[in-house]
Amino acid sequence: MLDTVASTWRACVVALVAVVAVAGCSNGDHPTWRRYRSADGLSSAEFPGKPVVSSKTRLTGLAVTTIHTIKLERGSAGIVQLTHYEMVEQSKDVKDSLLMNIECNAAHPGSSFRPGKPKPRALAGRPGVVITATAPKSSSLPNGGFEKEGCVIAGMRMYHLIAVGPDDPATRTAAERFLASFQVKAPAK
């Protein structure tokens, strides 16, 4: 009888350890992706966790602009971020592709990330630009860093998607999923 009780307890402990191990792995190694929408509901993307939503007002050129951000900081796994803002009226001589190239390259001056050339790519069914950047190996990034940014204009709104982290298959896969999940309801320009 004592052997049966001990055997039952051992089986319960083994089962409990297995459940805890699986639960721990599923949250860290395989995050749950969920769709998050901008406050106005016009754009959305999937994030591998719960992001923080914020807004800040900046003086850009001659206009005051509110920059809206949905951002997930994932510690050593990097950052996933969707930002948008209303653009000021531009001259008809300025092409959208030039504005998107400038926006997507804005974060790189002075950075250790070296961007590649902007490449045309449809984002949310609209013409966009994607830039891939890499950073050299360092003490904090033993394999180097990887960054993928996408920029697209819808109406008078600029959208900027950023996924950055260590240069590994998980970061590259997450970056691609994030950009591919982007949706926008704003009217086409």
Statement to judge: residues 61 and 144 lie in one domain: yes
Statement to judge: residues 94 and 3 lie in one domain: no
Statement to judge: residues 36 and 17 lie in one domain: no
Range of the structural domain that residue 10 is part of: 1-30
Residue 111 lies inside a defined structural domain of this protein: yes
Q: According to the model, what pLDDT value does residue 24 have?
A: 35
Residue 189 lies inside a defined structural domain of this protein: no
Domain CATH number, residue 124: 3.40.1000.10
Residue 91 lies inside a defined structural domain of this protein: yes
* pLDDT tens digits along 63-81: 788 999 999 999 999 999 9
Q: What mean pLDDT comes out for the span 161-178?
A: 95
The Cα 86–Cα 79 span in angstroms is 23
- pTM greater than 0.85: no
Statement to judge: residues 85 and 116 lie in one domain: yes
Statement to judge: residues 9 and 56 lie in one domain: no
Statement to judge: residues 47 and 117 lie in one domain: yes
Statement to judge: residues 89 and 148 lie in one domain: yes
* pLDDT tens digits along 124-163: 999 999 999 999 998 888 999 999 999 999 888 899 999 9
The number of folded domains in the chain is: 2
Statement to judge: residues 104 and 37 lie in one domain: yes
